[in-house]
Structure 1
Amino acid sequence: MHKLLTVLCLSVVATFTTLTGPSAGEEVVDPRALKDAFFKTVFGLEYGGHADAFRVKRFEGPVRFFVDDRSGVGRALEARRFLNRLPRHIGHLRAEVVDRRSRANFNVVLVRDKDFAAVVASELRADSIAMNARCLVGVTTLNGRIQQSTAVIVADDDFLFSRCLVEEVLQGLGPMNDDDSLTESVFNDQSQHATFTKFDQALMNVLYHPMIRPGMTDSEAFRTLPQVFADLGLSH
């Protein structure tokens, strides 16, 4: 019997004086690099190990986001705009922003930097982990199906807000691992990206393709990816 498992994905984000988005050369996604990134981010966990670690994890039904703004710096509208745009960039993702937390299965909590650790402790019971993090998402899965996600995001730091909003929300949708080799992705705490890059959009479109099912093993995904890439026009 598979139990509900809560996974924590944290980010110790490097700070850069200059923020850069994807350059013109990044507009074309290399299928080989994308396939490599899929296995590096979808399988394995950034923190800890659980039964679903090496299985595909994603929402199977609609995602209902709720923005809980406790920061007092007026960034709830910016967060909602980003969340509302996600289905335009991720095919087959059904998502909406709802007005009540009781309706949500993905909570996005905006906080001040000084309150981050306390909110993580109360929301995710992970106070010891928060000491080494700058943003964090907790994800509860069952047989690879995400049941609930909660992201805690610092809103009173421009870079942290932009970067963490993208990374923690995307990780809360399924790719829960980081890798320093992924230079075109936010799934790399050393990268300068603070936007939803074309590379990460392609990665999320692969993950949410109907042929990629929650609970798949890496070998099952390996056999399926050529058809998925062909359908998405990502093959050579």
Structure 2
Amino acid sequence: MIRFLAALPLCLSLSACMATAPLEQPSRASTEATTILPPMKTFTASRASKPQVSNTDLARDILDLAFQLESGRQLPRFTRFEGPITLRLTGQAPISLSLELDALTDRLRREAGINIRRVQSGQASITIEAVSHAKIRRHLPSAACFVVPNVSSLAEYSKARRAPRTDWTQLQNRERLAIFVPSDAPPQEMRDCLHEELAQALGPLNDLYRLSDSVFNDDNVHTVLTGYDMLVLRAFYAPELQNGMSRSQVAERLPTILARLNPAGANRSPEYLRTTPRSWIEAIQTALGPGASAAGRRSAAQKAVNIARSEGWTDHRRAFSHYALGRLTQSQDPDVALSHFLAAQRYYSQRPGTQLHSAQVAQQLAAYAIHEGRGQAALDIIDPYLDVAKRHENAALLSTLMLLRAEALDLLGRGTEARLVRLDSLGWARYGFGADWAVRAKLQEITALSPLKRGNGRT
């Protein structure tokens, strides 16, 4: 229902853990890259993989997603749209957002079987209003974007935000909703908001940290609807279900629905991952959310690691706990941070379907290798994940990995190749980071990692 502004976005300062030194004059390749930025690159076709999930686990997931809010409040009844669904884009929407909406609408029709189309005027089932970050924060200070029932504009929501009709627990069915996305965000952030909020406007209102292959997870690793997500939405709109059903009624019908939609899942062994305790969720939210001090965030992340350890987890939640603590301790103790990144990668490597998670850790490990002048080691870390980032349409991650790769190539004396990789990365960076100044700042940040470009040979 709400996509939060994370305290730890995908690409923080990779050099935050490194000792700083005066920069030498940038190389000719770096100068050219920062002077003239190439056109923005975009993803052309989604390549969502078929979900590998047991129908037993999937049924449990759907019930927990459909009958609870992110806050933990229970929902008394199943709700969805009935009949054709219309979408309207309003506000200060850039052309890129309109194109993203067309692509997503097409995917929802093809992959989830939802009867949905765009309209240019009049009342719509779902209105997507593009407004400034400042206006969103005025209503929800920690939100990047959000969705609300029974309104069609931010002005209408302002008047009705405390009324029963905007309370999800009071909802009887879905007829009219509004999604508010930032018009002044980088293209990737707008797209991410669009995918997550439209998915929740149509289907599940909850997020579950136990899901590793879904946008219905507050870890924000997946930001584009996955094959798993499309299967969940397809089940949500199965003809056997209808508004007003109780949890037990939906549970009774799910085995038949899933046998039809996911026949391979009937023969897969369920994992039965434990329910995520509220104490761990609250620790992660404190560590990565707004409001806490730096020390408070580190303490909360350590608590999350302790809970994960005491729960006996070896899944992606254990890994994510270590990753969060690594990010939060980089500037204070780089060696401790590295140990947590290595632990995160170890746990991710033991789980199928966590390549995107591993790619995020890989950028951290590659940064350490480059800082130490180990170019080949950095390439060995980076190269397996370039296609992973592209396949999951994460331009911010892809461009960061490519910029790191360029520095590794420079360390190996492969300057011409490094220059081409660096220039190619900047097109993706324009999609992932947006403004030219943000792209140049990312370039400078990663360039500063290399011992070839730090003054006086100091590290």
Instruction: Find the partner of 2:117 among 96, 100, 107.
Output: 96
Alignment of 1:99-110 (within 5 A): 99-100=120-121, 102-110=122-130
CA contact (8 A) 2:55 2:262 kept: no
Residue 86 in structure 1 maps to residue 108 in structure 2: yes
Q: Which has the larger radius of gyration?
A: 2
Which structure 1 residue ranges, 5 or more long, are not aligned? 1-8, 119-126
Structure 1 residue 137: Cα displacement? 0.2
What letter is aligned with 2:257? V
Corresponding residue for residue 174 of structure 1? 203
Residue 190 in structure 1 maps to residue 226 in structure 2: no
CA contact (8 A) 1:113 1:157 kept: no
What letter is aligned with 1:219? S
Residue 16 in structure 1 maps to residue 15 in structure 2: no
* CA RMSD, 1 decimal: 2.6
Structure 1 residue 158: Cα displacement? 3.5
Structure 1 residue 170: Cα displacement? 0.8
Aligned residues: 211
2:231 is paired with a residue whose SS is helix
Alignment of 1:25-36 (within 5 A): 27-36=51-60
Q: 1:95 to 1:22 in 2, by over 3 A?
A: closer
Post-superposition CA distance 1:52-88 (Å, at most 9, x none): x231110012111001141446422222331243111
Corresponding residue for residue 214 of structure 1? 243
Q: 1:65 to 1:17 in 2, by over 3 A?
A: same
1: CA distance, partners of 2:196 / 2:219: 12
CA contact (8 A) 1:57 1:175 kept: no
216-225 or 132-141: which moved more? 132-141
Residue 135 in structure 1 maps to residue 139 in structure 2: no
CA contact (8 A) 2:97 2:187 kept: no
Which structure 2 residue ranges, 5 or more long, are not aligned? 13-45, 151-167, 268-459
Report the structure, 1 or 2, having the larger helix content.
2
CA contact (8 A) 1:22 1:184 kept: no
CA contact (8 A) 1:13 1:190 kept: no
Corresponding residue for residue 6 of structure 1? none
Percent identity of equivalent pairs: 25
Report the structure, 1 or 2, having the larger strand content.
1
1:131 is paired with a residue whose SS is coil
CA contact (8 A) 1:55 1:217 kept: yes
2: CA distance, partners of 1:76 / 1:205: 24
2: CA distance, partners of 1:33 / 1:230: 13
CA contact (8 A) 1:163 1:194 kept: yes
CA contact (8 A) 2:149 2:178 kept: yes
2: CA distance, partners of 1:58 / 1:199: 19
1: CA distance, partners of 2:57 / 2:186: 32
Residue 43 in structure 1 maps to residue 37 in structure 2: no
Post-superposition, which runs of at least 4 consecutive aligned residues in structure 1 deviate over 6 A? 21-24
- Provide the TM-score with structure 2 as the length reference: 0.42
Structure 1 residue 48: Cα displacement? 8.3
2: CA distance, partners of 1:74 / 1:153: 13
2:175 is paired with a residue whose SS is strand
1: CA distance, partners of 2:191 / 2:209: 19
Residue 164 in structure 1 maps to residue 193 in structure 2: yes
